[in-house]
């Protein structure tokens, strides 16, 4: 059994602990957990710096990408954003690991000239605005909007996602407001609706019932403004809603409701405005609009189709329709003209609007193709009909059915496309629906006796509220248990199926299910600060971020539509001239047409069969579904770029403590070298270690409690002159005795002799993959505490599966060589790097990259963050520190090593689907356009009527989205199903 345990390094970090990785047993398994960060963590967060660089020589997004990648590989880089339009790079970094000059030199090494812009940038000068954009049809639209936003002074980063129809803009609120961003989007010709204007403050919308005039609104606003923590109030007179931005640490929505009620002496009543589903409401409205447009179009198109394609074969009806009204103008032509006109100019108005907006901004999109194609068919038909009305000999041939059917089929395609696109973001909807609608609020007196309980809207919960969670109910907020015990199913948040035992002091997560006991929970994180909200926000941001593969479609979209228009014109001209010059037999021309009309049909077919939408949707829809599936599996992937890089990974660097091991140290044995009772020994050691927040110290103190079981919370002797020695251990004076607890180096520096017996014990513990903690009292070595960290269940099997996937594994740890080698042997890893400092881990990652490897780093501690940033893909264990999670590209919520395999396999599957999407989208256009141009007509007589070409174009977009939706059926590799995860119970 000893082989099943792993050692924890006897090296203290800067906060004075005994291991390189701080671990908090009570920390919840989700990003941004309860704020129990160590002093080192806090100091790193506080020492964060920003630098702005002028980068000369960039010409395209590929240049910006190479600069961004090179900078991100440096140790200590938190974020790097390169703006190719303004030739600037904004870098956020930790000065302890890297400086401005190193960053500047790195940019120059890539091949560009870089200088530091001395401009004061502070943390508060950055806000994130999210905007819903209506009217985008293809990637050309999203590129136009993105360019317009980037051109605004103060905008640092702008991403526009076609699949989600949203924009995420990082901007400086000191330079511009979000209204300017909305105006910029509107100026490009699209409708902009604000979703949120900043990420650092909580915001809530309240519906106010009652008669509201200017005076009453002013009274309510003044009353609310007087509350501490209220930042901004915005009243919407149409909806009669108040949008309130506030600091959740100071106040909350329930206070606002009570203040509004008291301000009007009971005349006003405030309730939570159901604004959480605004985006869903917009999407449903868009679906309804396309559905209504399609139905109206169908009402007029069906008669036109019947008159053109069916009634002409029914003698009686054909005779009536062919009856002449004026000269050669027939009744059928008049009816087709009248019926197709509403379709062309009313239901088809959206295409005119879209085409005008695109052309006004110097770009061309799908709407331009549709407008040109349908107008060519419609106005030629009008010309033909008018000429027939004025000529006794001209036999007209109209294409009214072509324009009407084209618009109808395209509207049907857009309706199906919007329906399908809505399903790509179901993961977010499911996450948002996890939160319960109501909660039971308890009111307690100073002696914690129950005064009252009240059922409230769960969105009205404020910090420090006491909430009752009955068996079977969902936990209403993040917090900790103050009374009761139960088991909570956290699978919907962490993906861990096994219920977790909860008792007093344990953390709970909002949205999880209480299984069997009654709990009283004190709220700690509510609203936008909750774990659920942060996960939703992370997934939303991931779905906004473009994958590098998307750049391929963006480049094509710039030239696609103009080239199609040119090719369409060339097709018409070629067939027309060939007909006039007798380049083909007259028998090729249908009896109802002439050479001009035949050429026109070929030209229109080319114009409407080309589909830029399919190319634009190929990548983002697959990324949306892939990241959503990952979130449901407990693998949070931060965007398309991370998803794309992961499928190329062929080398993984593992941290040890908390990654390969559980990260919870336990004492496995105590070896006393002098005649001393264990109780007395641990009394002195616990008194010294109780002052440390380090997990090793906590493990020792917890073990020492076994000798004082008669006391629930034992009080240890007072420790005087406590001293934490970085990288070595602690020193304190307890009961007038000098107590030293630490590693071998501490003892040698404090002149404590280490006997041969002690050396043998240390070697023995190291061979067993354990760490020996030395204890000296008054300069005499008294005993050795053997501490181990259990190996995570299934770690060896995971490494074996990675080998079968042709991914090699490496251990890089700050632990000693003996322990590190023992761990590596245990799990089946050949390459080991031990006693590595944080910067050494990052350097090792870069060495592997220099050898041509695509490297993933899996870690969880502060000391892993430089390596996580330097790696091509950083994977943070979900129970790790906030800094590690921030630095990573992927967060493994369940802290299971299995999810490393899930992440790689999901990425590979997603990008296989993206390739299939591109093969379909490109193949469709490559094959479809020549066929529409008449490539098969000379040999087979087959030609593609424009209305069928339009239907094929609409079907191509729908098929790409549906192909992406098949990712929802993703199942983890079968090899993992055979992996037996054994639970290790640590006594």
C-alpha to C-alpha distance for 698 and 25, rounded to whole angstroms: 10
> Residues with Cβ < 8 Å from 66, sequence gap 6 or more?
110
The b/e string for 759-779 (b: 16+ C-beta within 10 A; e otherwise) is eebbeebbebbbbbbbbbbee
Q: Is the distance from CB of 555 to CB of 610 less than 8 angstroms?
A: no
Confirm whether 109 is a catalytic residue: no
- Residue listed under structure tokens 């079977």: 472
Beta strands in 743-844 (DSSP E): 771-777, 780-790, 808-812, 831-833
Distance CA 188, CA 160 (A): 13
d(CA 638, CA 888): 8
Active-site residue (options: 367, 655, 860, 864): 655
721: its two tokens: 């002159």
Structure tokens at 384: 């033909």
- Alpha carbon distance 138, 953 (integer Å): 13
d(CA 727, CA 871): 26
CB atoms within 10 A of CB 927: 12
Q: How far apart are CA 505 and CA 26, in angstroms?
A: 8
Query: Burial level of 160, CB count in 10 A (0-12/13-18/19+)?
Result: buried
Whose tokens are 């002052």? That residue is: 691
- 139 closest CA partner among 160, 155, 157: 160
> What tokens were used for 302?
């069906």
DSSP 576-611: HHHHHTT-S-GGGS-TT--HHHHHHHHHHHHHHH--
- Sign of the four-CA dihedral 504, 509, 510, 512: negative
* Euclidean distance between CA atoms 352 and 360, whole angstroms: 12
Closest Cα to residue 883, out of 316, 97, 211, 67?
Answer: 97
- CA distance linking residue 718 with residue 712, whole number of Å: 18
SS (H, E, C) 438-490: EEEEEEECCCCCEEEEEEEEHHHCCCCCEEEECCCCECCCEEEEEECCEEEEC
Q: Is 733 within 8 Å of 680 (Cβ atoms)?
A: no
Tell me the HSE value of 83 on the side-chain side, using a 13 A CA sphere: 26
User: Please, is 705 exposed, middle or buried when counting C-beta atoms within 10 Å of its C-beta (0-12, 13-18, 19+)?
Assistant: middle
Minimal CA–CA distance to 916: which of 964, 857, 855, 954? Answer: 964
Tokens of 599: 């050429």
Whether 674 contacts 782, CB under 8 Å? yes
Residues identified as active-site: 655
């Amino acid at each position: 059994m000893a082989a099943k345990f792993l050692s924890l390094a006897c090296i203290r970090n800067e906060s004075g602990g005994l291991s390189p990785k701080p671990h908090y047993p009570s920390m919840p398994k989700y990003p941004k957990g309860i704020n129990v960060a160590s002093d080192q963590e806090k100091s790193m967060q506080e020492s964060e710096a920003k630098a702005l660089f002028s980068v000369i020589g960039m010409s395209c997004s590929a240049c910006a990408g190479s600069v961004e990648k090179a900078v991100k590989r440096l140790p200590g880089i938190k974020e790097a954003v390169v703006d190719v339009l303004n030739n600037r790079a904004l870098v956020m970094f930790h000065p302890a690991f890297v400086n401005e000059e190193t960053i500047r030199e790195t940019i120059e090494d890539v091949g560009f000239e870089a200088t530091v812009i001395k401009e004061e940038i502070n943390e508060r000068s950055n806000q994130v605005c999210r905007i819903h954009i209506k009217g985008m049809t293809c990637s050309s639209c999203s590129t136009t909007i993105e360019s317009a936003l980037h051109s605004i002074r103060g905008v640092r980063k702008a991403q526009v996602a076609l699949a989600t129809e949203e924009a995420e803009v990082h901007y400086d609120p000191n330079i511009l407001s979000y209204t300017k961003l909305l105006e910029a989007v509107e100026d490009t010709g699209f409708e902009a609706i604000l979703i949120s204007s900043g990420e650092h403050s909580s915001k809530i919308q309240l519906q106010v019932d009652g008669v509201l005039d200017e005076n009453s609104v002013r009274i309510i606003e003044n009353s609310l403004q007087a509350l501490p923590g209220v930042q901004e109030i915005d009243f919407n007179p149409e909806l009669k809603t108040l949008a309130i931005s506030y600091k959740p640490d100071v106040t909350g929505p329930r206070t606002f409701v009570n203040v509004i009620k008291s301000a009007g002496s009971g005349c006003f009543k405030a309730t939570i405005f159901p604004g959480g589903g605004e985006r869903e409401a917009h999407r449903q409205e868009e679906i309804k609009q396309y559905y209504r447009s399609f139905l109206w179009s169908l009402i007029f198109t069906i008669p036109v189709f019947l008159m053109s394609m069916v009634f002409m074969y029914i003698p009686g009806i054909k005779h009536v329709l062919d009856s002449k009204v004026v000269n050669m103008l027939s009744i059928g032509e008049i009816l087709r003209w009248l019926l197709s006109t509403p379709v062309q100019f009313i239901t088809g108005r959206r295409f005119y609007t879209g085409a005008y907006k695109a052309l006004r901004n110097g770009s061309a999109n799908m709407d331009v193709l549709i407008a040109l194609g349908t107008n060519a068919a419609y106005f030629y038909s009008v010309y033909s009909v008018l000429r027939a009305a004025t000529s006794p000999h001209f036999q007209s041939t109209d294409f009214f059915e072509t324009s009407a059917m084209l618009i109808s089929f395209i509207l049907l395609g857009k309706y199906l496309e919007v329906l399908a696109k809505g399903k790509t973001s179901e993961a977010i909807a499911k996450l948002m629906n996890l939160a319960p609608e109501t909660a039971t609020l308890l009111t307690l007196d100073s002696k914690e006796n129950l005064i009252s309980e009240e059922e409230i809207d769960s969105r009205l919960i404020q910090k420090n509220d006491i909430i009752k969670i009955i068996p079977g109910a969902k936990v209403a907020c993040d917090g900790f248990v103050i009374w009761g015990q139960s088991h909570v199913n956290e699978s919907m948040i962490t993906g861990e199926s096994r219920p977790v035992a909860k008792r007093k002091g344990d953390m709970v997560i909002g949205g999880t299910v209480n299984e069997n006991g009654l709990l009283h929970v004190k709220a700690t994180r509510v609203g936008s600060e909750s774990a659920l909200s942060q996960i939703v926000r992370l997934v939303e941001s991931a779905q906004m971020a473009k994958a590098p593969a998307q750049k391929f479609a963006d480049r094509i979209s710039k030239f696609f539509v103009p080239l199609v228009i040119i090719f369409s014109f060339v097709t018409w001209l070629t067939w027309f001239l060939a007909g006039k010059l007798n380049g083909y037999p007259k028998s090729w021309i249908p009896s109802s047409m002439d050479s001009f009309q035949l050429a026109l049909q070929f030209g229109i077919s080319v114009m409407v069969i080309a589909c830029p939408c399919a190319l634009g949707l190929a990548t983002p829809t697959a990324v949306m579904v892939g990241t959503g599936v990952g979130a449901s599996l407990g693998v949070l992937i931060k965007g398309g770029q991370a998803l794309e890089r992961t499928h190329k990974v062929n080398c993984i660097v593992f941290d040890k403590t908390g990654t390969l091991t559980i990260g919870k140290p336990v004492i496995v044995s105590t070896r006393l070298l002098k005649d001393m009772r264990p109780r007395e020994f641990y009394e002195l050691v616990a008194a010294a270690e109780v002052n440390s927040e380090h997990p090793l110290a906590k493990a020792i103190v917890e073990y020492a409690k076994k000798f004082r079981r008669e006391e629930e919370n034992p009080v240890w002797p007072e420790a005087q002159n406590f001293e934490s020695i970085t990288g070595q251990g602690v020193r304190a004076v307890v009961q007038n005795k000098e107590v030293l607890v630490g590693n071998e180096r501490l003892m040698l520096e404090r002149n404590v002799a280490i006997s041969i017996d002690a050396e043998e014990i240390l070697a023995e513990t190291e061979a067993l993959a354990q760490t020996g903690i030395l204890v000296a009292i008054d300069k005499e070595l008294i005993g050795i505490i053997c501490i181990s960290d259990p190996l995570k269940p299934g770690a060896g099997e995971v490494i074996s599966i990675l080998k079968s996937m042709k991914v090699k594994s490496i251990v890089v740890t700050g632990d000693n060589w003996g322990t590190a080698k023992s761990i590596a042997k245990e799990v089946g890893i050949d390459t080991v790097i031990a006693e590595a400092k944080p910067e050494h881990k990052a350097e090792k990652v870069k060495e592997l990259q220099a050898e041509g490897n695509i490297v993933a780093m899996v870690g969880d501690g502060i000391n892993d963050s430089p390596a996580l940033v330097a790696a091509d893909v950083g994977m943070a264990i979900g129970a790790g520190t906030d800094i590690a999670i921030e630095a990573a590209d992927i967060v493994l919520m369940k802290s299971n090593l299995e999810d490393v395999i899930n992440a790689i396999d999901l990425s590979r599957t997603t990008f296989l689907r993206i390739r299939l999407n591109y093969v379909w989208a490109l193949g469709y256009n490559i094959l479809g356009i020549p066929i529409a141009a008449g490539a098969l007509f000379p040999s087979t007589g087959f030609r593609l009527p424009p209305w069928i070409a339009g239907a094929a174009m609409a079907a191509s977009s729908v098929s790409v989205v549906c192909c992406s939706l098949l990712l929802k059926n993703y199942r983890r590799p079968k090899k993992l199903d055979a992996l037996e995860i054994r639970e290790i119970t640590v006594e």
